[in-house]
C-alpha cells in the first residue's frame, strides 16, 4: 500500500470525526466555489448581452408640458445619440383577486421605430394591438396574469 493512502486510512481509523469533518469542509468549499463560478458564467454572458441589446437611456427628462418642446432640437445636438418621448402613468393592477399592485405604464409611439429601451417579444402579439399592453416577464411571476388575459387596472380610482 502506498504511504499516502496508508496514512489516510490510519487517520480515518484513529480520528474518524476529525477526518470526516475535513472531508465535509472540503466538499462544502468546492460546492461554494462551484456555485460562484457557475453563477458568474451565467450572469456574465446573459446580463451583459441582455443589457447591451436594450440600448438603455442615460438621461430622463420630466415635465408637465412637453407640448412646447420640440424633440428635434435635442436630436440635432452632437452629444445626443438618440431621443424619443415616452409617456408614463402610475396605476394599479389586480395581480390576484382583491390584491392590487403598483403598475407603471409606459407609452411608446411606435414599437417598430423605437430606438431606446427595446422590448423583446416572448409570447403574444409582437406589437400589442390598441387597448392592450405588454407585460414584463417578471410581472407574470408575481401575479396570476397570463398572456392574452384581461387585466383589471385602476386608473385614478376607477376600475377599467
pLDDT of residue 26: 94
Q: Which domain, by its residues, includes 144?
A: 85-159
Instruction: Report residue 158 CA to chain centroid gap.
Output: 30
Spatial CA neighbour of 145 closest among 104, 99, 107, 105: 99
Give yes or no for a contact between 143 and 93, defined as CB atoms under 8 angstroms apart. yes
Please give the Cα distance from 51 to 65 (Å, whole number).
31
Structural domain count of the chain: 2
Using DSSP's 3-state secondary structure scheme, residue 124 falls into coil
pLDDT of residue 56: 65
108 and 154 fall within a common domain: yes
Does 24 fall in a domain? yes
pLDDT of residue 143: 85
pLDDT of residue 28: 96
102 and 144 fall within a common domain: yes
Domain C-terminal end among 31, 54, 77 = 54
151 and 89 fall within a common domain: yes
Low-confidence stretches of the chain (pLDDT beneath 50):
none
91 and 152 fall within a common domain: yes
pLDDT of residue 55: 67
Does 32 fall in a domain? yes
Please give the Cα distance from 9 to 63 (Å, whole number).
76
DSSP letters spanning 40-92: HHHHHHHHHHHHHHH---S-----S-GGG--HHHHHTSTT-------EEEEEE
| The model scores a pTM over 0.85 | no
pLDDT of residue 43: 82
Amino acid at each position: 500500500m502506498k504511504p499516502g493512502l496508508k496514512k489516510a486510512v490510519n487517520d480515518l481509523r484513529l480520528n474518524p470525526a476529525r477526518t470526516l469533518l475535513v472531508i465535509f469542509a472540503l466538499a462544502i468549499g468546492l460546492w461554494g466555489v462551484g456555485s460562484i463560478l457557475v453563477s458568474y458564467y451565467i450572469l456574465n454572458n446573459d446580463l451583459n448581452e441582455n443589457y447591451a441589446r436594450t440600448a438603455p437611456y442615460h438621461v430622463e427628462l420630466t415635465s408637465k408640458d412637453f407640448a412646447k418642446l420640440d424633440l428635434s432640437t435635442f436630436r440635432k445636438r452632437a452629444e445626443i445619440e438618440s431621443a424619443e418621448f415616452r409617456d408614463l402613468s402610475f396605476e394599479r393592477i389586480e395581480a390576484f383577486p382583491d390584491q392590487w399592485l403598483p403598475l407603471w405604464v409606459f407609452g411608446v409611439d411606435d414599437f417598430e421605430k423605437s430606438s431606446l429601451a427595446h422590448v423583446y417579444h416572448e409570447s403574444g402579439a409582437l406589437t400589442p394591438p390598441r387597448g392592450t399592453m405588454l407585460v414584463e416577464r417578471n410581472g407574470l411571476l408575481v401575479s396570476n396574469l397570463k398572456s392574452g388575459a384581461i387585466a383589471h387596472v385602476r386608473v385614478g380610482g376607477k376600475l377599467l
